[in-house]
Amino acid sequence: MEDLFERTILIVDDEAINREILGNIIQSEYKVIYAENGKEALEKIQSEGISISLVLLDLLMPVMDGNELLKAMNEEGLITEIPVIVLTSEKSSEIESLKLGAADFLTKPYDRPEVILARVRHSIELFENAKIIHATEFDKLTLLYSQDFFFEYASQFDQRYPLQKMDAVVINFTRFHLLNELKGRMFGDQILSAMADGIRSTLLKTGGIAGRKDADTFFAYIPHIDDYKIFIEKINEKLSSLLKASETRLRLGVYTDAEKSLPILLRFDHAIQACNSIRNKAGEEICIYDNQMAEREVFNAHLLEDFEAAIENRQFKVQYQPKFNITGDTPRLCSAEALVRWIHPELGFVRPDLFIPLFEENGLVTKLDRYVWEEAAKQIALWKKELGMTIPVSVNVSRVDIAAPDMTDFITKIVKENGLEAKDYMLEITESAYTSDSKHIIEVVEKLRSLGHKIEMDDFGSGYSSLNMLTSMPIDALKLDKAFIRNIQPGNKEMELVNLVLKIAQTLGVPVIAEGVETEEECRLLKEAGCDIIQGYYFAKPLPPEDFSKYAGNDKGDAK
Ligand code: C2E
Ligand code: CA
Ligand code: CA
């Protein structure tokens, strides 16, 4: 750190000769600025801020003397930001200065230059160390700065170089925990060290500093550059001996020319937001925080603020999308998926993919999901009464929901209260949830299955479960991710993937549900390939419960 910036020292003395003697000694190591009295010094301190590392202060001066300046610095809280060494010729005034927060003394006539320099250095060091005493300086594994220390130095960087355009960069390895799980912690550690090496060698070119946020996320604060590929290239270089190119999944989010009036943490939040937005975009590695994201942030804040009122005022509506069994001659309605919508008083219809991920981040999703689960349970009971038939419903379960220790109790309660059978109340759990904390999830899923519930693995194919992991997962159906269905043609690559999934399902002995089926052609191809159940606009969009009743009542299962 030491050589990153030159520190500035303010010498305050009314005697030109004293200023010159001291200045000559100090300027061999520091940038020096001067003031002729306390008043002038205070103005300089106020305008330069804490980019001044130390003040050397004469006590006897006209206009405003040394102790008066110390008082003023106390009043403005500056004394805790900048150390002051008092220059005195008489012992008696020392006590007063000490009370006022002076850090050290130099007595006139001045000592040898080395002694003065040493004391100046010592004071600065003590002061800077004290400021960061709570931060553990380095991350042990990667030898980059730990998070707190990184932010502290990033802020100092700004103080020293207020005019330099800076970029806040976040680098992450997508689904790193999977590597840890599959290849062991030791291997994971090697990956992280290699990533840190790559980042370090990038900094040799760009300048700036880097730190480790947590597990697989790194920060860099660098003078502005235009092309961030250099990070990806350097990291890939270091990773190449450990991983195949196809196994590395780097994501980089940048808040470019970061607005310095924002707190440093917020600037990095923006970069994190950019980085997170890459999550589902294959082949995209770099994302730059832009206006659209800023607007999105405001929109998100709005949604978060309105959440409680929305629950209270029942603005969340549940729609039901039918699923059809296509194994026989005619498709038969076999169940429905409950999908939530938000009818917002100002924003109108808000799609769930705009608020579900947001509420997952904030843990609010559990409250929402329990509301939806209860609505769905009531709805099944209502249809039973209205239509004289049971329409099994599957509800979506977020990863966050499963963490709550009373999840299974809650499900059991609502199923019982509405007089349902567990087998008619199904749960959809997304594939990536299984791979994030598989042990706990498997426990919960096993419990639910033992109670009689059916579990569907949602969005299958979008995650990274290995065949090995799949065989140990307790599930009752695989729900093929929508993305697979797009573009299926006889014999093409997409179709081969679908066939592969069907084979996996066969091995596991579970049916396959294809969702997002929009055309007759898609439906036919899937049926021929051996897919069991179909959900999609081809049959019906998600419907409000009243419409669903009509739909189910009319067809009694013979829809098409
Ligand atoms: P999902 O669980 O994969 O739900 C299927 C999504 O595909 C739904 O989007 C559905 O409307 C849409 N879809 C169905 N058929 C077709 C089709 O033929 N073509 C196309 N293009 N799309 C089709 P929706 O309702 O917007 O929900 C999006 C996601 O939000 C859901 O994806 C699910 O992950 C989440 N979600 C929805 N409701 C809930 C809920 O109550 N709780 C939780 N935790 N998540 C929910
Ligand atoms: Ca689903
Ligand atoms: Ca899905």
CA-to-CA dists, residue 2 to 29, 149, 473, 514, angstroms: 12, 14, 53, 60
CA distance 268 to 208: 15
| Ligand 1 and 353: CB distance under 6 A | yes
Contact 340 CB / ligand 1 (< 6 Å): yes
**DSSP state for residue 76 in the 8-state scheme:** T
Closest residue (by CA) to atom 32 of ligand 1?
353
DSSP symbols for 86-152: EEES-THHHHHHHHTT--EEEESSP--HHHHHHHHHHHHHHHHHHHTTTS--B-TTT-SEEHHHHHH
* 431 CA distance to ligand 3 middle (Å): 9
Ligand closest to the CA atom of residue 341: 1
The whole-angstrom separation of Cα 537 and Cα 515 is 9
518 lines ligand 1 (CB under 6 A): yes
Q: Which of helix, strand or coil describes residue 426? A: strand
Q: How far apart are CA 61 and CA 64, in angstroms?
A: 6
Q: Is the CB of 536 under 6 A from ligand 1?
A: yes
Q: What are the φ/ψ torsions at residue 113 (nearest 5 degrees)?
A: -50, -40
The Cα 435–Cα 198 span in angstroms is 27
CA distance 375 to 317: 9
Residue with CA closest to ligand 1 atom 7: 516
Instruction: Return the ligand 1 atom nearest residue 459 CA.
Output: 3
Residues 193 and 199: their CA atoms lie apart, in Å, by: 10
State the Cα–Cα distance between residues 435 and 264, nearest whole angstrom.
33
Full 3-state SS string of 202-222: HHHHHCCEEEEEECCEEEEEE
How remote is the CA of residue 295 from the centroid of ligand 3, in Å? Answer: 27
**Which ligand ends up closest to the CA of 481?**
3
pLDDT of residue 1: 39
CB of 320 closer than 8 Å to CB of 543: yes
Question: So what's the pLDDT on residue 134?
Answer: 46
Q: Is the CB of 65 under 6 A from ligand 1?
A: no
Q: What is the pTM of this model?
A: 0.66
Distance of CA 130 to the CA centre of its chain: 30
User: DSSP E strands: which ranges in 363-402?
Assistant: 393-397
- Expressed in angstroms and rounded, the spacing between residue 559 Cα and the centre of ligand 3 is 22
Give residue 479 CA to ligand 3 midpoint distance, Å: 7
Query: H or E element: which one contains 300?
Result: helix 291-312
103 Cβ closer than 6 Å to some ligand 1 atom: no
Q: What are phi and psi of 94, to 5 degrees?
A: -60, -40
Burial of 487 (0-12, 13-18, 19+ CB in 10 A): exposed
Q: Is the CB of 58 under 6 A from ligand 1?
A: no
Return the best residue to mutate from 319, 339, 430 for the ligand 1 pocket (most ligand atoms within 8 A of CB).
339
Residue 227 makes CB contacts below 8 A (sequence gap 6+) with none
Residue 109: cis peptide before it, omega within 30 degrees of 0: yes
Domains of the chain: 8-137 (3.40.50.2300), 147-289 (3.30.70.270), 325-541 (3.20.20.450)
CA–centroid distance, 458 to ligand 2, in Å, is: 6
Q: How far apart are alpha carbons 424 and 392 in whole angstroms?
A: 4
Contacts of range 104-112, beta carbons closer than 8 Å, 24 or more positions apart: 106/56, 108/18, 110/21, 110/22, 110/25
Atom of ligand 1 lying closest to residue 373 CA: 41
DSSP annotation of 543: B
Residue nearest atom 8 in ligand 1 by C-alpha distance: 339
d(CA 201, CA 235): 9
427 C-alpha to ligand 3 centroid (Å):
12
Residue located nearest, by CA, to atom 3 of ligand 1: 459
Give the position, in ligand 1's atom list, of the atom nearest the Cα of 542: 11
Rounded Cα distance between 30 and 20, Å, is: 14
Residues 6+ apart with CB under 8 A from 46: 76
The ligand placed nearest to the CA atom of residue 356 is 1
Q: How far is the CA of 547 from the centre of ligand 2 (A)?
A: 20
359 Cα to the center of ligand 2, angstroms: 16
| 401 Cα nearest atom in ligand 1 | 44
Nearest ligand 1 atom to the CA of 356 is 45
Task: Give yes or no for a contact between 427 and 458, defined as CB atoms under 8 angstroms apart.
Answer: no
How far does the centroid of ligand 2 lie from the alpha carbon of residue 428, in Å?
6
Residue 549 CB less than 6 A away from ligand 1: no
Write down the pLDDT at residue 3. 43
Tens-binned pLDDT, residue by residue, of the chain (560 aa): 344 467 899 999 999 988 998 999 999 889 999 999 999 999 998 887 667 889 999 988 889 999 999 999 888 878 877 899 988 877 666 778 888 888 888 877 777 888 888 889 988 888 877 666 544 677 888 889 989 889 999 998 898 889 999 999 999 998 888 788 788 889 999 999 999 999 999 998 999 999 999 889 999 999 999 999 999 999 999 999 998 887 788 999 999 999 999 999 999 999 998 998 886 555 679 999 988 888 888 899 999 999 999 999 999 999 999 999 999 999 999 999 999 999 999 999 999 999 999 999 888 999 999 999 999 999 999 999 999 999 999 999 999 999 999 999 999 999 999 999 999 999 999 887 877 677 888 899 999 999 999 999 998 877 666 666 777 778 999 999 888 888 899 988 889 888 988 998 998 899 999 999 999 999 999 999 999 999 999 999 999 999 999 888 775 444 44
- Which residues are within 8 A (CB) of 193 and not within 5 positions of it... i.e. 6 or more apart? 141, 142
Whether the Cβ atoms of residue 179 and residue 187 lie closer than 8 Å to each other: yes
